Structure 1
Amino acid sequence: MKTAVGSAKNNVLALMFADFKEITKARLAISVVFSSIAGYFLGAYEIQWVQLLLLAFGGYCMVGASNAYNQVIEKDLDVLMKRTRNRPVPAGRMSANTALAIAVVLTLLGVVTLYLLNPKTAMFGAISIFLYTSVYTPLKTITPLAVFVGAIPGAIPFMLGWVAATNEFGIEPGTLFMIQFFWQFPHFWALGWMLDEDYKSGGFKMLPTGKKDAATVLQIIMYTIWMMVISVIPVFGITGRLHLSIAAAVLVFVMGAVMLGFAFKLYRQRDNASARKLMLASVSYITLMQIVYVIDKFSA
């Protein structure tokens, strides 16, 4: 009997933990924390592990809070889409009030934790939550320009790590911000292409032209080229302490060219399979690019 009760409790806890991961979008949050940590390594004169832990915890809380707010706001729309209808709130496993309470607690924990690093880091974290929930989320059903607004909070994590390490905002974190800002467009438009029908079921306007057409892919190509250019600017020595060796710049540029190749493939074929390959290539690019930047700094 005790074994059965214990097993039931374990199952309940496992389901609650699974829903917490879903409401905070754990995989996305971890990837965002990875970007912040990369930015921290690039900015830090000396690695302080307590700071790094505070950044990771605070960063997860901020991203998790944004995602939880988003799922509360969009609960009625999430029911209409295949990819979101099984989320905790629309599926009925979690009440909207519970999700909102989680979001508020995570916001407070995140702001306080990042403030312990420095006020600027907490400020940028708070701006990220505000833009994501109060501007980007409601705009998604109104205009494709929502992606432009959403690219701002989406680009903050890489630069946030630098600010956390230095308590300074200048050309270096600004450059990191611009790299991830321009990366957002091919990434999310590739995702939007794949899920266009589902997004339209929920009333979301994600593609720049509203259609899976040549004009949309041309914008993907344009923003990918801008991303490639900005990613190698540090090699020219004009971005303060943010440096990149010639070898690292060539590697980063080649990785960008691979991603650009997938964008051109999407232009030629204009199918979901090509969009998926571009989306996966974009995820690989942002991760590998950050790793190259960090390795290049410590191997110089």
Structure 2
Amino acid sequence: MSKTNTSITAPSVISDFKEITKMRLALSVVFSSLAGYLLGVEVVEVKTLILLALGGYFMVGASNAFNQIIEKDLDALMSRTKNRPIPSGRMSVTTAFIIACTFTILGIVILYTINKQTAMFGAISTFLYTSVYTPLKTKTPLAVFVGAIPGAIPFMLGWVAATDDFGIEPGTLFALQFFWQFPHFWAIGWFLFDDYKKGGFFMLPTGKQDKGTAVQTIMYTIWTIMVSIIPVFGFTGRLQLSVIATIVVFLLGLWMLYYAIRLFRLMTEKAAKQLMLVSVSYISLVQIVYVVDKFLH
């Protein structure tokens, strides 16, 4: 969508702000952390929920703004990203940097008011995303492995915010979201392969849209399914899952696995895009099932 209007209007400032902080992505991350909070808490405190949502949003927004500052020259090379606020010239690097720094400080301070551990994990997440994952993206497919760590923190962060404790329960939530990210990221890396290549990004494990990548996508989907049903066996402390909820979660996993196998069979960008869309629905639905199950039992 090209904008012929060169004057900066209020709507374009708002849309640029939404884009530099990747609002939709940030909101999905906030959703994860709120789900984690609801799983961990005995009595829901609305104030803590709001603080967690705000703090989480600021931390993710900061990560995304730093990411776009670092990758501004590469973003200009790719069709998907060339119209972002910085490469298109609508926002200066200084403005983006001020937003990123302000968001980082606000995020850490807000999360700190919940408890120290929540602030610490929030800070680790932003640091890893900005200082390790982002520079590695042009160097090695292992970047996805590193990126999966900050990506998996929000679900766990919610539990830590609720309990001020890190144990087997948030560890399990972390593992679920960690393994899930591989099929999710690789599906994106597959259908945006040519565009990523322009920017010099290596996202697929073998570096190619081949059977090797497709097999690894299937394997990590299976790991995700296995972790998702662990709470039913009763050794994840207070994180528990009823048999019915486990069946639902398992079926959701099979739904995602079907699309991962389909990618292996068809090897097309369309199949990869479908897997990506299913993976996004999958993680949200699993989190909803976990939370609903807790409050029904």
Pair in the same fold by TM > 0.5: yes
Q: Does 1:132 align with 2:126?
A: no
Among candidates 85, 88, 95, match of residue 88 of structure 1: 85
Consecutive unaligned residues of structure 2, counting only runs of 5 or more, are none
Task: Give distance in 2, aligned partners of 1:144 and 1:61.
Answer: 28
TM-score, reference length from structure 1: 0.96
Q: Helix, strand or coil: the match of 1:94?
A: coil
Equivalent residue, structure 1, for 2:95:
98
| Cα deviation code 1:137-167 (max 9, x no counterpart) | 0000000000000000000000000000110
Whole-angstrom CA distance in 2 between matches of 1:74 and 1:231: 34
Question: 3-state DSSP class of the match of 2:9?
Answer: helix
For 2:290, the equivalent position in structure 1 comes to 293
Report the equivalent of 1:169.
166
Deviation string for 1:144-197 (max 9, x for gaps)? 000000000000000000000110000000000000000000000000000000
Q: Residue deviations 1:83-133, cap 9 Å, x none?
A: 000000000000011101100000000000000000000000000000000
In the alignment, is residue 108 of structure 1 matched against residue 105 of structure 2?
Answer: yes
Q: Following superposition of structure 1 onto structure 2, how do residues 175-214 of structure 1 map, counting pairs within 5 Å?
A: 175-214=172-211
Residue 39 in structure 1 maps to residue 36 in structure 2? yes
Aligned counterparts of 2:9 and 2:236: Cα–Cα separation in 1:
51
Match in the other structure for 1:26: 23
Please give the per-residue CA displacement for 1:43-78, whole angstroms capped at 9, x wherever unaligned.
001000000000000000000000000000000000
Deviation of the 1:16 alpha carbon: 0.9
Q: In percent, how many aligned pairs have the same letter? A: 66
- Measured in 1, the distance between the counterparts of 2:233 and 2:172 equals 13
Equivalent in the alignment of 1:63: 60
What is the deviation of 1:13? 1.9
SS in 2 for 1:59: helix
Output the CA distance in 1 between the equivalents of 2:140 and 2:84: 24
Quick one: distance in 2 between partners of 1:238 and 1:200? 44
Moved over 2 A (4+): none
Partner of 1:5: none
Distance (Å, rounded) in 2 between the aligned partners of 1:207 and 1:139: 13
1:248-300 Cα deviation digits (max 9, x unpaired): 00110010001000011000000011001100110010000000000000001
Counterpart of 2:14? Answer: 17
Amino acid at match of 2:18: K
Task: Give the corresponding residue for 1:276.
Answer: 273
> 2:140 & 2:252 partners in 1: Cα distance?
32
For 1:85 and 1:236, the matched residues in 2 are separated by 48
Partner of 1:120: 117
Query: Which runs of 5 or more residues in structure 1 are unaligned?
Result: 1-7
Match of 2:144 in 1: 147
Q: Aligned partners of 2:200 and 2:17: how far apart in 1?
A: 26
Q: Equivalent residue for 1:4?
A: none
Paired AA for residue 59 in structure 1? G
Aligned residue pairs: how many?
Answer: 292
TM-score by length of 2: 0.97
* 2:258 equivalent among 247, 261, 271: 261
